[in-house]
Chains A and B, each alone.
Chain A
Amino acid sequence: MADRDTLPRPNYLLDGGTTLKRWLLTTDHKRVAWLYMVSITFFFLLGSAAALLMRLELLTPEGDLLTAEMYNRMFSLHGIIMVWFFLVPAIPATLGNFLIPLMIGAKDLAFPRLNLLSWYIYAFGAAFTVWATVAGGVDTGWTFYTPLSSMFANGNVSAAILGVFIVGFSSILTGINFIVTVHRMRAPGMTWFRLPLFVWANYATAIIMVLATPVLAITLLLVFVERAFGIGIFDPALGGDPLLFQHLFWFYSHPAVYIMILPGMGVVSELVACFARKRVFGYGLMAGSILAIAFLGFLVWGHHMFVSGQAAYAGLMFGLLSFLVAVPSAIKVFNWTATLFRGSIVLETGMLYALGFIGLFTIGGLTGLMLASMAIDVHVHDTYFVVAHFHYIMVGGMVMAYLGGLHFWWPKLTGRLYNEFWGRFSAVAIFVGFNLTFFPQFIMGYQGMPRRYHSYTPEYEPWHVLSSAGAVLLAIGYFLPLLNLGWSMLRGRAAGDNPWGATGLEWRTTSPPPPHNFRNPPVVQREAYDYGSDDAPVPDREMPR
């Protein structure tokens, strides 16, 4: 410990200036990751506040807390913020930004200034949208369906659409940066099949960002010009096709589900391997299934449109294709389970989050299969069953993975250790709170409770009360990591360079890493997840208690 404090160790947090200006003009991918992290945390809290208001309103069958219009605005605010400004950038722009160059042994991303630019675009677009949503009100939901959004909705819909359009470019720039970085910046010896699965997952995510986001951009632009200048494109009165908007929108937004979940799968692969101290079972299949999910994800969007009036043939086609995505997803779940089998499992905080992810993702995925069957979907579409399904994927899956990854790499990000007890406690609290919030929604949805209503018939009240109680627990659960991790930055014990004894290049540099990541350019000589070998890394820290 002593020499660690006395030797001068370059540190990206201190070297290169600590003034606000130096942070806002940085091109260091590790600092840009922090810029993103601070902003997405802010948006996460804002979106959660809207959700909490909705849950409070739904505590009683009458619409007493919010008017119907306010409620519409609340779920639109919640959806817009959580999807566009939290979930899409969450893992790629924070952990991905920080870790990809470290994991492949590069000094930075291929285009560092572009990386900073993407944050500015994100921050500007997101702030603009939130202003529009709060100031004028937007009640279209996060999906901006035409002709509601183009012809009927009042409020600041145009501004909100423009804001999301702008944020899309940040996504595109991040995608381009990641793809080029993974192709061109790998250290000597870092072959494709030595890449950590986290890098594979973010690479596949980047491909989706690059291929899908432009389609969303042009679609939103068309809605914007239709609203702002009356250039009707989707307008049925001119013979335009409002359903075409849904096709184009979901051509982005279904793959966007994989933008949100694939990086989470990457995180979980790292955590499971490290805390079971085993190689990831079936590495090649894991990498292949990531790419397969990214590809198949583009072929299934029409299952969001089963009851929209699209051709019956199209429903059949999209339903069948949707089942295909289940195959690579199941391969991943089986392989994580096989990795855990006979591993030396350590239930550290990160591992608890990862296990939570696997369970909740499985439930979310299986209910997704139900929704992909047209016959069931006709029954439960637009009910809380759908709401519960996608929250199991987005919140139960993605947010769990994000928090797990944040805890796992926190010592690398900050050089500090957080309190392990409170870490584990929050993981369990979030898991329990989440299930209490969303499992009742499966039941009441199946019984017919429609989504997007601020009042309901009393027969659903018990389920709504359970759900609202769970939401409060969940909210407390989300504050705990904020406090715990925040506290660790001030008072946490110094972490070693590799506190978990994990493989991977990011653990071979110091904690926190120097500005250009490595003192000596790394050379890779072995596969990822080499936990079985005799000289596998050992945890570099004082063991607690």
Chain B
Amino acid sequence: MRALLLTFAALLALLALTVWIGSLELGRVTIALSLGVAFLKAALIVTVFMHLRDAGTMIRIAALGGFLWLGVLFWLTFGDVARRDAGADAPLEPTLVPPRDGKSSGSGE
């Protein structure tokens, strides 16, 4: 019971913290900090309210596995999305790559 109440207090404190961070309008830093606080809150809820600290190995794996798999999904998708910019503003016609110099462009010696 005490653990539940303490966790609840911590959650409310973190809520205040995240609202305060949001009000600072720090741009990109806000995203990182807010997500960090959100992960902390989620961790508190999962470990105490959802009893993950008393759970067996398999349940822990199930709880973490989802986040790991999301990591795979995010990582590989951004492998495309984050690198697609090259040429995004360029016209859609095919472009010829100019030879770097006279020596390496031809196949013949």
Contact = CB atoms under 8 A, between A and B. Distances in A.
B73 A313 contact: no
Contacts of B80: 243, 247, 302, 305, 310-311, 313-314
B72 A247 contact: no
Contacts of B86: 311-312
**Does more than half of chain A's interface fall in helix, strand or loop, or is it mixed?**
helix
Given A183-B58, A211-B69, A311-B86, A241 B81 contact: yes
A252 to B, nearest CB: 10
B104 interface: no
Nearest to B78: A314
A311 B69 contact: no
Given A241-B81, A311-B84, A302 B73 contact: no
Contact of A247 (B65, B77, B82): B77
Contact of B79 (A183, A211, A317): A317
B76 interface: yes
A313 B72 CA distance: 16
Contacts of A183: 58
Given A183-B58, A211-B69, A311-B86, A301 B81 contact: no
Interface string A168-210: 0000000000000001000000000000000000000000000
Interface string B3-34: 00000000000000000000000000000000
A301 B83 contact: no
A299 interface: yes
Contacts of B77: 244, 247, 251
B69 A298 contact: yes
Contacts of A247: 76-77, 80
A318 interface: yes
A328 B45 CA distance: 39
Given A211-B69, A251-B73, A299-B72, A313 B58 contact: no
B76 A299 contact: yes
A215 interface: yes
How large, as a class, is the contact surface on chain B?
A: 10 to 19
Nearest to A321: B76
Interface string B57-76: 01000000110010011001
Contacts of B79: 302, 311, 313-314, 317-318
Contact of B81 (A244, A251, A298): A244
**Does more than half of chain B's interface fall in helix, strand or loop, or is it mixed?**
helix
A241 B88 CA distance: 13
A46 to B, nearest CB: 33
B84 A301 contact: no
Which of A244, A301, A309, A311 has most chain B Cβ within 10 Å? A311
Contact of A310 (B58, B66, B73, B84): B84
Interface string A232-250: 0000000001011001000
Interface string A153-173: 000000000000000000000
B73 A215 contact: yes
Nearest to A310: B80
A310 B85 CA distance: 10
Contacts of A311: 79-84, 86
Nearest to B77: A247
A311 B76 CA distance: 11
A309 B87 CA distance: 11
Nearest to B72: A298
B84 A302 contact: no
Contact of B76 (A215, A244, A309, A317): A317
A244 B66 CA distance: 20
B53 to A, nearest CB: 20
Nearest to B68: A211
A301 B69 contact: no
Contacts of A313: 79-80, 83
Nearest to B80: A314
Interface in A383-410: none
B58 A301 contact: no
A314 B76 CA distance: 8
A317 to B, nearest CB: 5
Contacts of A309: 84
Interface string A271-300: 000000000000000000000000000110
B61 to A, nearest CB: 10
Interface string A245-262: 001000100000000000
A259 B43 CA distance: 32
A280 to B, nearest CB: 26
Nearest to B85: A311
B83 A314 contact: yes
A341 B83 CA distance: 49
A302 B79 CA distance: 10
A298 B66 CA distance: 13
A317 B76 CA distance: 9
A262 B73 CA distance: 22
Nearest to A207: B65
Contacts of B82: 311
A127 B100 CA distance: 60
B109 to A, nearest CB: 25
A240 to B, nearest CB: 12
Which of B58, B65, B81 has most chain A Cβ within 10 Å? B81
Contacts of A312: 83, 86
B64 to A, nearest CB: 13
A302 B84 CA distance: 14
Contacts of A302: 76, 79-80
5 contacts: A215-B73, A241-B81, A251-B77, A311-B86, A312-B86
Interface of B: 58, 65-66, 69, 72-73, 76-77, 79-84, 86
Given A183-B58, A215-B73, 6 more contacts: A247-B77, A311-B80, A311-B81, A311-B86, A314-B84, A318-B76
Q: Which 10 A-B pairs have the closest CB atoms?
A: A314-B80, A311-B83, A313-B83, A311-B84, A310-B80, A314-B79, A247-B77, A311-B80, A211-B69, A317-B79
